[in-house]
Every structure is written in C-alpha cells, then in structure tokens.
Structure 1
C-alpha cells in the first residue's frame, strides 16, 4: 500500500482480512498517519516511513497506489521488471464488488451528481453503495451484497484502473485543472476519458453534448452514448425545453420540471439532466426521479446560500476549485456579482474569466497565493481588489456590492495555501458572513 490516507488504509485492511501480508508506505511518520486516521495502524500491517524501494518492489505481488500519490514516486522500472500490477483503491474495490456500478466523473459537478443519482437509486434498490472519491472508499463495500454502487471517480483514481468497467459511466465536463499533476491538458483529458475504456456495447455513457472537449473525444467511446444538453433539443438524450428537462429515448418522451429543483444555477440544471439520463438507464422510474429531484437540497460549499445582508445575497462556492467551476457558477446568476476568488496557484489559465467578469461582475476581490497572477491575467475586466485574508475579502466585497447584488465566494483555486481543505475554507467564509453587521 502506497499512501496511508483513508482509501489506502481501507484497502490495507481489506487485503489483510483476505490473508495478504501488507506493508503500508507513507512519507509521513507513523504517529502523524495515525493522528490523521484517528486510530492506530494494526500491528499485523508493517509500516514503512518513506518511499517504496526497488528491493521492496521486487518482493511485492501487488501495489495499491493511493490517488494522492503520483506514479512517479514509485520504483516503476523495478515493478515493470517484476511484472507487478499497480492498482488504485478504485480498481481493488471494483474487483471485490458483486453488483452493478454507475460511475460519475468530470472536472466539476461530480459530487452533486453522485449524491443525487445515489439518492434516486436508493429509493428503488434496497442495497446501494454511494461513495468513492465523494468520501467512503469503494473498497469498503467489498464482501457486502449490493444491487448498485454509485461512485464518484476522480482523474487521479482513473490513472490506476485496469479492469474497472461501470455499467453506466457519466462524464459531466472536462476543463483545465490539476496542472500541478499533469504535463498538459491532453493528458488530463485522456485520463478522464478512461472511465469508458473497458465499456462495451451493453454499457451506457452519459455525456455532455455541450462540452467541446468531451464531444471531440466521443468517437472512441465503445458504449451506448446518451447525451445531455442545455443548449439544444436532441433526437435522443436529455435536453432543456423552456422550463422542462426532457428525457427522450425512441418513442418515449418524459418531462421533468426545472422548478422541481431546490438548488440554484444552470450548472445544477445540467447536473440534474445527467442524473436523469443515468437514472432512467439504470431502471429507476420517472416518478422516483421526480421525488428525488424535488427533495435534493444540494451539497455544502456548492453555490450554497449563506445569508442576505442589506439586500445583498452571499453564496459559498468554496468547492469551485478551478476556472471551469467559476464560469458555471457565474452563468447561474442573473444578478450583478461581486466575486471573491484566489487560493493556492495550480498553474491554470485565469484569462477565460475575463469576458464573463466583464459582463456579469461589479468587482472581484482576490486573495491567497494566486492573487498577484490573477490580478495580472484579469486586469481590465472589472475593478480588482487584493485582500490579505478571507475576512478582509468579505468586508471589501460587502462594501462593493449594492442592494440586489450577489457576493459569490468561488475561488478557482485549491485551498491548501491558507486552509486544510475546501470544507474548512467554506466554513470560515460562512462564519465571516454571519458576523457582518445588519
């Protein structure tokens, strides 16, 4: 096991139960790993502080690589010579799972769609596992009896698949992200497309017909393609028609009111259409789909309404960790926007934000490690202000906004320069907004 995060630890315990001799490698000391996990590493698992050596590689029958650890940290030549397979926890979980699998990936929206689709499935099938990159590792479902698994899948997880074959695979979008992990956009996009690699004619691919990068790569998809589109009607698939979301399959046409949705923004209409397409191909009845759509309140830190102060509405979109997410967020607001953005610089191009900001925003408040580069790349689009903290950014945004505006915290960056994760960052934003005077 390479990497002692939660997915690596769950995988280690699974293999230990199966009788394997397990060694857990991590670059952190054992004490730090155990603090992070919240419990000790069992004595039956050998713990090594450091990277895997060539000698260890030659003595290993299987390597399970945690998604946060790049393959370059492995002694790959030695593993190739030994013929040792390198899987991820997703692959291990799939090989130990007895039911059907619906997998959801995309640069943005995958947690929302996974949760929504999982809820739809749980209303019909008695034994549904919901997890993956969303939180609960897929390997934790091993040995259980399940009808379906609905799993969120990241590009990092798709790097290490071998036999992974979802019956239903959903690709929401592909926009620039993780430039600190991949040498170029093409490599990142190809990794995302890996979700379809092992599918066959009996499987289903739910794909975004409006996404140029997705559409350009569909020829290689071997399964039945079900497109969804916000922008145009489709002969078959899911599309928007006025206030309706329409599912069309041959002679079947079903309508789902957009007004059912409690979550705001065009991106959530798009997410709902993807979930509808997947659910119907999983055999979930239309009435159940409608019940789930109307009950779904969204996830924290995804365009989450926080509070209205002096006629200005504040929204927490801390999960907006890339430019594509911010673009989708801005599209969903007809009101003038004051944007708060910035964080750890992942090396992405911020210039695609220029035109949407010019059209929709009153100002942008920039903070974090990326703020100076963001200021250079966004110069001339809207008034730009720099803040030294999230508290200062919220105060400046409140001063810039006018009655009827919205203030949106959608960073376009990861959180690791100032916070542990996007959840902590979103909670701090919420707390600061709640302290604003009436």
Structure 2
C-alpha cells in the first residue's frame, strides 16, 4: 500500500502536530514540500519554521492561496482544516488528490491497525486497548487523535505490531483506502455541528471507519446505542457487540454486576464492575469495548483483567485533582460536548458545583437540565457559550457567570462545603479562552493547586445565592 513520494510536489495544509509530522516524513522521503497555514510566522514560532526551512520546505503563512496548491501532485490536509475552503475546492475541481493524515499514514504503516471512533470515550478505549495488548505481550503503538500523529509512527512499527489509532470524524472525512483490521464505534451523540452541517452528516463521517473492511475484519459496536447498532447491518466485517443493559448471544455484557465475555468457545467472567478503577457507568462501557477488542485478538481473561485493574485513568477525563477541606475537585476538561458532560454528571450522586462553558459547537444544552436539577447545587459559567447555556438551564440551578478560570475556581471554592464536588465539565470546546482542552484542564488544575497552597488561609465564603431565572439574572461574581 506504500505510495511513491520521492520527487513529488506535495502541499501540506496546516502546521499543527499532524501537518508537521507529514512535512518531516515527506522531507525524509525526498519530496518537494510546500506547507501552508492560516497562522502567521509569529503565531507558529520561529524555532519550528527555522527547522522546516532548513529541510528545504517552502512556507506560505497567514493564508492558503489556490495557486500554491494547483501545481501539486497531491495535497495533504491536517484534521483541523475544513475541506470546504476555496483553495481545496479548486484543487478538487482540478482533479488533484486530497488526502488526510490518517489516510496518508495508513499507506505506509506496517502492522495491524485497530481504529477507535465515536462521540465519547475514544481516548480511554484507545489507551485501554493498548494496555490490554501490552499486558498480553504484544508490541503496540498508540496514535491518531490522541495527539500522536500516525505518520510519526511509520518508521517505528514492525510487521507484527499493533497500531491502535483514535480517529475523529474530521480524520474520517478524508479516508479512501484506510482499512482497520478492527474498528470500534463507542457511541454516537451530536457533536462538531459547527463543522458538520447536520447530525446525519456527522454520523456519515463516523461510519466511514467501516468503509474498506471485509469479512476478514472485526467491527466492535455498542449494542445500547441504536444508531451504532444499526451499523451492524451496514458493515462487511464480523460484528462484536458490547452492552451494559442486556445479555448478548455473543460479545461482552453485564450480568449480576459482573462483566461477561461470551464467545463461540464458551463464556468467561472478566471481572466485577466494582473492580473497574474508573468512575462512571460510561467507563463500564469503555472497558467492555476494549475487552471486545481483546476477544477479537485472542487475549486471555487474566491479562485483560490485570490491565484494566491497573489502568491509571487519563488526564482531563474525570481526573481527581485533590481534596481541600472535604471538597473534591475533578477535571473533566475533555467533556467537550453535551453528552460527555452528562456522563460526567452521572458519575456523581449529587452535591456538585459544575463549571460549564467554552466555545459552542452548535450544541443543544437542554438535555443537561434534568441532571443539573437533580445533582447540581450551583452552575458556574465561563466563556462564549455562557448565554446559550444559561437560557437552556434557566431555573434548573443557581448560576453565576465569571470571566476566567481563576475566578471560576475561586468562586467554586467559596461556595463549596465539605462533601461537595467541584467539577469542570465544560460541554463545549476550549478555543475561546484556551489553546485546547488540555490547556484548559491544566489551567484548572493550576488554579486548584493555588487553593491548596492557600489552605491555611481559607477564603471568605459568600452567603447562599438566589437562583437565576434568565441570563439577565445570572449573578456575576
């Protein structure tokens, strides 16, 4: 599947992690590279650009011009670049091939690819699969949407290795020949509707992970999600189902609070739900999805069990930061959509002070209302989406709007009493105030750490606040 790049003129659009990895790989393979980015030289950083110029890369910064692309043999696009931009439309009309980073890397990657997609749980499932395969003695590499470009793995992967790739809808838009031996669909809920025109368009992008699979491949599907279950009848791959709600003829399911793996050669107990070290029912589903992959690969129960029991969790995903004066602080900055925020709320019985907000992705925030009314003592709003969230949650809980993460954390500290939990679960993207969700999570943790440092000098606490019934009545701290 290797493609010839030596001597070819290749345009790379977008100089984030994926774009840089593709540029560096192309230079090693002696391609002629032009790289473009909307950001200016100052925004990208001199050190990065100097190293690219030393490699002979022609740079076009601050814009993408069609003329720079139309002479290319093919064009590589980073996931964050919409395919609808004018230069790409003109290139497509001219018949120039346009590939995404996942598609490009898959043309060169040896080994067996396991692709993981869905709306929520992708990173946790990806890392759980990696832990299970490593525990079973396999050589495994993780990459894709977890922040490690697949292109950067090409020269490190052996023929018998596994590559576990988290794959986003943006990355799946540009696949052509990409064929994972095992494809996992965790769940589907509305997301990225700021880029995908409709939910149907988003689902169509997601289901492309099964596009090139054959009867020799596997499709791991969430039987509790009607949209995902329907995909079982569309894929040519052998389906493996997992379910938290019902017993299955074949697959992974919960029975009497135990996780059971049922396979043609018999039924085996994997573990009790209480042995899972991760919070939330959604993490039971994540464990089952990873276990289903283990079944497909042929991993025995004991290595799977040990890998799951010892799994440390992932930064920014229901990550416990600390406890201060009996109040727990949790960082779930990766809750970048409504469904993931709901799953975070469901992980706690109540007494929550929640920080919502960020950049809206075209989401409907109303589904949060029942959980907010049932479990949340106070909502703190931060970022561009604050007015929309406030309207959607009007009357469900008291709300306060703040201007910064520092203000949000300090305000939550003033409100919280022993036994409460302060939870960052934004339900939004981070790009209004932060570089990405990791940056947002780190800032939250830094502000919480400042409270730890001040623990000997407790901040003055405000009196209880009246409930806000409209955005105009949302109290500002």
Q: Calculate the TM-score normalised by the size of structure 1.
A: 0.94
Pairing partner for 2:79 from 67, 73, 80: 67
Pairing partner for 1:116 from 128, 134, 140: 128
Moved more, 317-326 or 75-84: 75-84
Gaps of 5+ in 1: none
Change (3 A) 1:356 1:140: same
Cα shift readout 1:129-181 (whole Å, capped 9, x = no counterpart)? 21111121111222442411011111111111000000001111111111221
Give the structure 2 partner of residue 303 of structure 1.
Answer: 318
Runs of 4 or more consecutive aligned structure 1 residues displaced over 6 Å after TM superposition: none
**DSSP 3-state at the match of 1:48:** strand
Give the structure 1 partner of residue 108 of structure 2.
Answer: 96
Query: What value does the CA root-mean-square deviation take over the aligned residues?
Result: 2.0
Confirm or deny that 1:203 pairs with 2:217.
yes
Q: Say if 1:231 and 1:239, in contact at 8 Å, map to a contact too.
A: yes
Gaps of 5+ in 2: 1-11, 457-477
Give the structure 2 partner of residue 419 of structure 1.
Answer: 434
Hey, what's the Cα distance between the residues in 1 that align with 2:111 and 2:71? 33
Q: Say if 2:355 and 2:426, in contact at 8 Å, map to a contact too.
A: yes
Q: Say if 1:365 and 1:384, in contact at 8 Å, map to a contact too.
A: yes
Confirm or deny that 1:188 pairs with 2:202.
yes
Cα shift readout 1:96-138 (whole Å, capped 9, x = no counterpart)? 0111100111111111111111122223355322111112111
Hey, what's the Cα distance between the residues in 2 that align with 1:39 and 1:137? 21
Give the structure 2 partner of residue 255 of structure 1.
Answer: 269
Change (3 A) 1:143 1:301: closer
Cα shift readout 1:175-228 (whole Å, capped 9, x = no counterpart)? 111122111111111111111111111111111111233234442222111111
Asked which structure has the greater CA Rg, the reply is 2
Give the structure 2 partner of residue 351 of structure 1.
Answer: 366
Query: 1:93-172 to 2 correspondence within 5 Å?
Result: 93-144=105-156, 145-146=158-159, 147-172=161-186
Q: Say if 2:83 and 2:89, in contact at 8 Å, map to a contact too.
A: no
Change (3 A) 1:31 1:310: closer
Hey, what's the Cα distance between the residues in 2 that align with 1:38 and 1:112? 33
Moved more, 7-16 or 296-305: 7-16
Q: Calculate the TM-score normalised by the size of structure 2.
A: 0.87
**DSSP 3-state at the match of 1:273:** helix
Q: Say if 1:87 and 1:160, in contact at 8 Å, map to a contact too.
A: yes
Change (3 A) 1:39 1:265: farther
Q: Say if 2:121 and 2:286, in contact at 8 Å, map to a contact too.
A: yes
Query: 1:37-52 to 2 correspondence within 5 Å?
Result: 37=48, 40-41=51-52, 42-52=54-64
**DSSP 3-state at the match of 2:84:** helix
Hey, what's the Cα distance between the residues in 1 that align with 2:219 and 2:180? 9
Q: Say if 1:102 and 1:148, in contact at 8 Å, map to a contact too.
A: yes
Hey, what's the Cα distance between the residues in 2 that align with 1:78 and 1:422? 33
Q: Say if 2:27 and 2:55, in contact at 8 Å, map to a contact too.
A: no
Hey, what's the Cα distance between the residues in 1 that align with 2:50 and 2:239? 44
Hey, what's the Cα distance between the residues in 2 that align with 1:314 and 1:256? 31
